Copies of this chain bind each other. A is one copy, B any other.
């Protein structure tokens, strides 16, 4: 089994760590040119172009765009068709995700200042949101719950979902999850054409205010290009897990956690950090033993070889320094008293504390959304949450006394900026009432 080994005491540690974390997330010029054409085409020819692209890329040919819509009845039918264990699991997961996200709801507020001015902020749900659900091999019912449920908790008016169905194959688990989460409209379209249809609207697909959800390089490029026309969530890079373990950790448990990230795809990243060489060695040995018998041995082996690492550090304090350099999507603290290390963690999408908290629970059922900032974007970004589906408006209601008093501040500032009408608009509110 091939995997990088890094040691913080080596002179080349910084260089090696930089190489480990290197990934080109920036916009690809060639893909953008193609996507720019698709977007312009959807804007100009609407449903006609949408039908052409869907036939071309998904092999789905229909006579009218209305046939691309998946009915509410079809969602309910899928929910009936799936196994009872799966149905119960989806429903239980949805309930836990809902419970967690209700803690994120924010309310409007206001206060009065000492001049009698009323100041506040109105917090309201978005009116219409588009959710991109990937199709084919990387189609996850859990992701449907993790995006739609927070939006529903926020009170979004209408949820419009696009999910490509390559070869016309619909995924029953995905449709069932859409039924449980409460999608309002679902269209079997994908790629840049789906993003363009959501951003600009066609006769069939309604225009939305924001587009969320993961996708491949073309979807990411399309989201980047329509940003401004609509809101978007993060542009995702490859997914990663970073496990910090001390001597207490169970090597087999760590091995499965590292595998569970690596099995996603060959670009996924699994990193184990420990002050104990014996822990790193035991995990290596365990992984090497288990690897040949996995269902996805080839993907896991490639992921570990290309992007995995076992990192030896001096102590847990240094482990946290390395963690903050990585700013991982998923961080497991498999150490004694994990909560005592939380303050040392500056950047992480989600933090899993203690031996029972496997990342896998976070992927399905713990409660927080598994849509998390990847590739170091936890430096500035947050998990997908209710706040992504609410927006704010400042509200100001000034008193006569407030206007008179604040004009003394606004007038000199406006004048210094050469903005006469601004100054006059402030001054006139004093003149007429004092």
Nearest chain B residue, comparing its CB with the CB of A324:
B127
When all copies of this chain in the complex are counted, the total is 2
Beta-carbon contact of A416 and B173 below 8 Å = yes
* Inter-chain contacts of A318 with B (CB < 8 A): none
* Inter-chain contacts of A284 with B (CB < 8 A): none
- A:139-175 near B, CB below 8 Å: 140-142, 173
Nearest chain B residue, comparing its CB with the CB of A379:
B209
CA distance A5 to B103 in the complex (A): 47
Given contacts A100-B119, A351-B396, 14 further A-B contacts (CB under 8 A): A92-B409, A119-B367, A127-B379, A141-B417, A210-B380, A227-B235, A231-B377, A351-B393, A356-B429, A356-B433, A358-B403, A361-B398, A378-B391, A382-B392
A238 at the A/B interface (Cβ < 8 Å)? no
Number of interface residues of A (CB under 8 A): 134
A122 at the A/B interface (Cβ < 8 Å)? yes
**Partner-contacting stretch, out of A10-18, A54-62, A420-428:** A420-428
The contact of A353 among B368, B395, B413, by CB within 8 Å, is B395
- A:83-134 near B, CB below 8 Å: 83, 85-86, 88-90, 92-93, 96, 99-100, 103-104, 109, 111, 113, 117-119, 121-122, 124, 126-127
Interface on A for B, CB 8 Å cutoff? 25-27, 29, 36, 83, 85-86, 88-90, 92-93, 96, 99-100, 103-104, 109, 111, 113, 117-119, 121-122, 124, 126-127, 140-142, 173, 209-210, 224-231, 234-235, 237, 250, 252-253, 256-257, 259-260, 262-264, 294-296, 300, 338-339, 342, 345-369, 372, 375, 377-383, 385, 387, 391-400, 402-403, 406-410, 412-414, 416-426, 428-429, 432-433
CA distance A355 to B392 in the complex (A): 23
Nearest chain B residue, comparing its CB with the CB of A137:
B418
* Inter-chain contacts of A416 with B (CB < 8 A): 86, 141, 173
CA distance A391 to B345 in the complex (A): 13
**Cβ distance A224 to chain B, nearest Cβ, rounded Å:** 7
